[in-house]
Amino acid sequence: MSGNANGYKWIGTRTIRPDGVDKVTGRAAFGADFALPGMLVGKILRSPHAHARILSIDSSKAEALPGVKAIVTSADFPEIPPSEAIKGSSPPNYRHLSQNLMAREKVLYDGHAVAAVAATSAAVASEALSLISVEYEVLPHVTDVLEAMKPDAPVLHDDLFTGGVEPKPDKPSNVAKRVEFAIGDIDAGFADADVVVERDYSTEGIHQGYIETHAVVANMGEDGQATIWCSSQGHFMVRQYTAGLLNMNIGDIKVTPAEIGGGFGGKTTVYLEPVALLLSRKSGHAIKMVMTRDEVFRATGPTSGSAMTIKIGAKKDGKITAAEADLKFFAGAFPGAPVHLGCMCGFTPYDIENVKAVGFDVVTNRPKAISYRAPGAPIAAFAIESAIDELAGKLNIEPLALREMNAAREGTRTAYGPTLGVVGFEETLEAAKTHPHFSEPLGPDQGRGIASGYWFNVGGESSASVSVNEDGSVTVTSGAPDIGGSRASLCIMAAEVFGIDIGEVRAVIGDTNATAFNRHTGGSRVTFALGMVVVNAAEDCIVQLRTAAAKIWDIDVEAVVWEEGEARPAGDNAGKFEPLSLGDLAAKTPMTGGPISSEKSSNVQGPGPAFGTHICDVEVDRETGHVKILRYTAIQDAGRAIHPGYVEGQMQGGVAQGIGWALNEEYIYGDDGRLQNPGFLDYRIPVASDLPMIDTVIVEVPNPTHPYGVRGVGEIPIIPPMAAVANAIEDAVGMRLTDLPMSPPKVLEALENGG
Amino acid sequence: MAKNHVTTTINGEPVEFLCETQQTLLDVLRDELQLTGSKEGCASGDCGACSVMVDDRLVCSCLVMGVEAEGSSIETIEGMADGENLHPLQQKFLENAALQCGICTPGFLIAAKSLLEKNPDPTETEVRYWLAGNLCRCTGYDKIIRSVLEVAAEAKGA
Ligand code: FES
Ligand code: FES
């Protein structure tokens, strides 16, 4: 399995992941698989109302139930004043986080936590919840983003004043923030255009849909030292947020990561951990909490829905002269919609002189939105890539050709500031054009759509250690959870640096005491950023190994080279010595200066931005409105694919999620503000029979800042699909659908209104 | 409430357990017998993460009560490998990167094995429909379907 065309021994090979066997035999321990003797079961009481004032909570009957050991409400959590909402320089807003964890004066959405109990069994805990009586004064609610922006809308927070506008408003509203990114002169750009398209689009709130629900075991020791076992996208994040919410010292909490059963951005915050810890402190027992699927839908995730207007103008020859976006995203009950990211990413695939993107972050009576793969970018791309397609139609230019004419490349200035370095967008377009899929003939009611997407990718704080064990095997310890095979890619990179067999390298995820701080796994950062730290640490080990060999041979360290997993004299002048392998040197460390290891921490910069281009074929059933995906090809610049199997997997998984977003998935609220589809039966994610094989093409335009050229790969694939599907439907039946999801009733209605 | 005494065979071994009447087979496997390879993704029969075989029938163990298992023979993911030797489906999933997070994997493996026992030479469509009761949010199913088809093809060739 070693040796390949790119000149590397391991980079780019399909090795078997180190954690694989445990995962196919059922032995891997995920969040809910951990248990401690004597632990209690914790459960949460949730609001049935979308918006209500809590008048009183009476838990006396529940407390009297045999087997109930502790009950907590918001009164048990420290109240975080506005002045302490932001600790340090960056989010989260701890005041909002605390209010989301356990409602204070008001409940703000159906599913908002109100109280929690710990009991000796799940049955007792459930019964106790039913014995807690909460008196509510129901308030008017709002779940729609445009409704929430109206002057007479019910206001969720009376201390929320729109940021980013001058003068500062004197009345609170649901608009948390306005952002704007602009370059050039937008009016002049449109004046210059021969053709202009302008249209409104909307998307619904959707959930990340990870199959593993949130789960935790927490134990508060007598000495105030806490231990938490849970699955998350960042155990350092869990530690930091839990400490911040409970006013504890970070050093008093240890978090051990479980295997994580999917996150996609949805596990980058805490819902259960501080609650479980408080129940543990109150009851004196370890607490286990596992969310039901209903709770996951009602109280975690989702990503924003939106209302958008896109306007693009171009010359007759296809040169785009101006592009304008107005994006309104709802954030759920607390501010934080990723609308600025939508504004940043949406037009970046194109080199446009005059751009203006304005975004609004709007609160509504829905669960607090959290990241979902490339947060914000897919929403904006649905609208913008649909508009590009429409523009191509009006100009009578083939849509891929229009993208080529305007494609961003090295030196293109983005609307949000940076100028692009080496990027591979044109290469993805070229690969699309030459792919057999692009020219395959289509049948009646079938259509083909193209769409592209951009994500800047993320680096960030990363720590890892590499140690050479006594037998010459190598252990890589990192502190970022592995959600999709990152242990495999870290092993590959370490094996490449050392020049040893992949079987000699183990990658483990350490707990919060095992490594220094790591930012959570997200934004497609781990293979890039952790990879860089691991490569640095491994290179440092090699310097130590060369030094050890130099000592043994009694020559200068400069006269020792490291090649193919062994120390060799650097040419004849250095002297004649038998090479020393990693195993030889590891066995001699007591004589050569001690163990060989290196720990590195760094705030990694220079993640390579990346682009993808997708081709989608659909068939529209004119009788039912059902849209069938016939064929799908995803093309993406990965910089360098460390493990192509997992890169393809990221692409295929992102596409499947995007197809669900395009065709099926949506949060459905009743007039009463209650979520009507909090289960997998009614919130239908794509199943195997909904999809074809998903073809992938990995384009490699190496990222110059990474030793192997890695760019993040996890975010891009969910950005183009919604527009690719919409553009394909337009091609099939001549109708442009502008509201997601494009479910059968909507397609049918559009067909009836003149397809 | 008195617990129920249930006698079963699990992965070929006789197993007795006590369970409460409202406990599902999945609860029993995970919480009483520490067989946590079967996962709970929904508890409503919609995700297939809890798939097991009961008397050679593929079922969602979250929809079977613990007491219903009396006298039956149950196969779970923990019994799929033959000692150190992985089942060909397990091996193929590893080689093809057919798992990312891996939470759905036990359910898919159990369901795929039951398919190949009934239909050793399925078409892609048959595999897709048989596995339509198993949700995977990570892979887009492509590598899972290919793995099942490859194992079937290799068994035919052997
Ligand atoms: S847990 Fe049984 S089908 Fe989902
Ligand atoms: S691999 Fe994560 S749900 Fe299937």
Domain A34-139+212-261+267-299 has CATH 3.90.1170.50: yes
Instruction: Verify that B68 and B113 share a domain, yes or no.
Output: no
Instruction: Verify that B47 and B17 share a domain, yes or no.
Output: yes
Task: State which of B53, B79, B105 marks the end of a domain.
Answer: B79
Residues of chain A with CATH 3.30.365.10: 20-26+459-602, 306-457+608-754
**pLDDT given at position A87:** 85
pLDDT digits (tens, 9 = 90+) for A437-496: 999 999 999 999 999 999 998 888 999 999 999 999 999 999 888 887 889 999 999 999
Answer whether residue A527 shows pLDDT above 80.
Answer: yes
Task: State which of B54, B79, B104 marks the end of a domain.
Answer: B79
Instruction: Verify that B111 and B69 share a domain, yes or no.
Output: no
Minimum CA–CA partner of B27 in chain A: A122
CATH code (residue B125):
1.10.150.120
Answer whether residue A313 shows pLDDT above 60.
Answer: yes
pLDDT digits (tens, 9 = 90+) for A239-295: 999 999 999 999 999 999 999 999 999 999 999 999 999 999 999 999 999 999 999
Answer whether residue A755 shows pLDDT above 60.
Answer: no
Task: State which of B26, B60, B79 marks the end of a domain.
Answer: B79
Instruction: Verify that B114 and B54 share a domain, yes or no.
Output: no
- Residue A508's pLDDT band, with cuts at 50, 70 and 90, is very high
Q: Give me the mean pLDDT over the A722-736 stretch.
A: 98
- Residue B151's pLDDT band, with cuts at 50, 70 and 90, is very high
Instruction: Verify that B41 and B72 share a domain, yes or no.
Output: yes
Determine the Cα–Cα distance for residues A437 and A692; give it in Å rounded to an integer: 14
- E strand or H helix at A636: strand A627-637
Q: Give me the mean pLDDT over the B44-62 stretch.
A: 98
Give Cα separations from A677 to A296, A664, A691 (angstroms).
Answer: 12, 12, 22
Answer whether residue A529 shows pLDDT above 60.
Answer: yes
Instruction: Verify that B75 and B123 share a domain, yes or no.
Output: no
Determine the Cα–Cα distance for residues A367 and A358; give it in Å rounded to an integer: 24
Which one has a higher pLDDT value, A2 or A110? A110
CA of A575 to the centre of ligand 1 (A): 67
Determine the Cα–Cα distance for residues A296 and A298; give it in Å rounded to an integer: 6
- Residue A754's pLDDT band, with cuts at 50, 70 and 90, is confident
Determine the Cα–Cα distance for residues A667 and A33; give it in Å rounded to an integer: 29
Tell me how many domains chain B contains: 2
- Residue A502's pLDDT band, with cuts at 50, 70 and 90, is very high
User: Does B21 touch chain A if contact means CB atoms closer than 8 Å?
Assistant: no
CATH code (residue B40):
3.10.20.30
Answer whether residue A738 shows pLDDT above 60.
Answer: yes
A298-302, A515-519, A615-619, A714-718: the lowest-pLDDT one: A515-519
- Residue A3's pLDDT band, with cuts at 50, 70 and 90, is very low
Answer whether residue A89 shows pLDDT above 80.
Answer: no
**pLDDT given at position B1:** 64
CB atoms within 10 A of CB A564: 11
CA of A44 to the centre of ligand 1 (A): 21
Chain A residues closer than 8 Å to B104 by CB: 211, 261
User: Which of A:289-308 have CB within 8 Å of B?
Assistant: 290, 292-293
Spell out the alpha helix ranges (H) of A372-424. Answer: 377-395, 399-406
Instruction: Verify that B11 and B71 share a domain, yes or no.
Output: yes
Under CATH, to which class is A20-26+459-602 assigned? Answer: alpha beta
Determine the Cα–Cα distance for residues B11 and B26; give it in Å rounded to an integer: 15
- Residue A523's pLDDT band, with cuts at 50, 70 and 90, is low
**pLDDT given at position B157:** 84
Q: Give me the mean pLDDT over the B138-155 stretch.
A: 98
Determine the Cα–Cα distance for residues A436 and A439; give it in Å rounded to an integer: 6
The SS3 call for residue A288 is strand
Q: Which residues contact A537 (CB under 8 A, 6 or more apart)?
A: A464, A465, A466, A476, A598, A599, A600
Average pLDDT over all residues of chain A: 95
* Phi, then psi, of A41 in degrees rounded to 5: -100, 130
Instruction: Verify that B73 and B101 share a domain, yes or no.
Output: no
Contact B138 A262 (CB under 8 A): yes
- E strand or H helix at A313: strand A306-314
Q: Which residues contact A441 (CB under 8 A, 6 or more apart)?
A: none
User: Does A680 touch chain B if contact means CB atoms closer than 8 Å?
Assistant: yes
Which residue has tokens 């064990």?
Answer: A469
- Residue A332's pLDDT band, with cuts at 50, 70 and 90, is very high
User: Does A29 touch chain B if contact means CB atoms closer than 8 Å?
Assistant: yes
Determine the Cα–Cα distance for residues A728 and A440; give it in Å rounded to an integer: 14
Under CATH, to which class is A306-457+608-754 assigned? Answer: alpha beta
CA of A657 to the centre of ligand 2 (A): 12
Answer whether residue A92 shows pLDDT above 70.
Answer: yes
**Ligand having the closest approach to the CA of B108:** 2
Atom of ligand 2 nearest to the CA of A262: 2
Contact B37 A27 (CB under 8 A): yes
Which residue has tokens 């039956």?
Answer: B72
Looking at the DSSP bridge assignments, the partners of residue A696 are: A634
How far does Cα B106 stand from its chain's mean position? 6
The SS3 call for residue A557 is helix
- Residue A4's pLDDT band, with cuts at 50, 70 and 90, is low
pLDDT digits (tens, 9 = 90+) for A657-678: 999 999 999 999 999 999 999 9
Interface mutation vs chain B, best among A217, A687, A695, A696, most B CBs within 10 Å: A687
Domain hosting B13: range is 4-79
Determine the Cα–Cα distance for residues A410 and A427; give it in Å rounded to an integer: 12
What is the count of residue pairs from A and B with beta carbons less than 8 Å apart?
Answer: 187
- Residue A2's pLDDT band, with cuts at 50, 70 and 90, is very low
Determine the Cα–Cα distance for residues A719 and B9; give it in Å rounded to an integer: 48
A22-26, A711-715, B148-152: the lowest-pLDDT one: A711-715
CB-based contact A335:A391 (threshold 8 Å): no
Count Cα atoms within 13 angstroms, Cβ side, for B8. Answer: 25
Instruction: Verify that B94 and B129 share a domain, yes or no.
Output: yes
Determine the Cα–Cα distance for residues A292 and A62; give it in Å rounded to an integer: 21
Give Cα separations from A394 to A312, A318, A400, A725 (angstroms).
Answer: 12, 10, 14, 19
pLDDT digits (tens, 9 = 90+) for A347-392: 999 999 999 999 999 999 999 999 999 999 999 999 999 999 999 9
- Sheet with A505-509, edge to edge strand ranges: A505-509, A474-478, A460-468, A596-604
**pLDDT given at position A575:** 86
User: Which of B:99-138 have CB within 8 Å of A?
Assistant: 99-106, 109, 124-125, 127-129, 131-138
Instruction: Verify that B152 and B118 share a domain, yes or no.
Output: yes
Instruction: Verify that B69 and B131 share a domain, yes or no.
Output: no
